[in-house]
Amino acid sequence: MPGESRGNDVNEDFLKNGAGEITEKDLAEVQSKSEEIRSKFEHGGPLQRFIEDGRLFLSLIRDYTKGQYRKIPWWAIAAVAFTLLYVFNPFDIVPDVLPVIGYVDDSAVFVLCLALVEQQLREYKEWKTTLS
């Protein structure tokens, strides 16, 4: 599974390397586990501040896999999928079972991904508002 521990550094290279391993099968896994992933953002802790962004990531993956939104480069969709799978994985660099600090690495990966795909997310949000 992408996001297995590869050392102790959560940085842009870590995110890019992880995204480089993402496949269409991983996108399907994100889709199948979307409710469980969403619940990790909604149950408090450091990830709660990213609830709206987490929902946006899940929506983007759903629209991409359904073929409804393909105006995003593969590297960006892979970074989002990697991030969601990483957050879902309870045995990542810092295991989630450790109170508070178990989510620090998840938050760091999420923030890195937000910065990396900021423009693509803005374009996706604009596309979503045109549907309303």
Each residue's pLDDT, cut to its tens digit, for the chain (132 residues) gives 444 444 446 788 989 999 999 999 999 999 999 998 888 888 766 777 888 999 999 999 999 999 999 999 999 999 999 999 988 886 665 565 555 566 678 888 899 999 999 999 999 999 999 987
> Nearest to residue 21, comparing CAs of 86, 98, 117, 72?
86
pLDDT at residue 4, rounded to an integer: 44
Q: What is the largest CA-CA distance in the chain?
A: 44
pLDDT at residue 102, rounded to an integer: 67
pLDDT at residue 100, rounded to an integer: 58
pLDDT at residue 94, rounded to an integer: 59
pLDDT at residue 3, rounded to an integer: 44
Q: CA distances (Å), 93 to each of 9, 66, 108, in order?
A: 8, 31, 11
Our separate counts of H helices and E strands in the chain read 7, 0
pLDDT at residue 93, rounded to an integer: 56
CA atoms within 13 A on the CB side of 38: 12
pLDDT at residue 96, rounded to an integer: 55
CA atoms within 13 A on the CB side of 23: 3
pTM of the model: 0.82
pLDDT at residue 129, rounded to an integer: 93
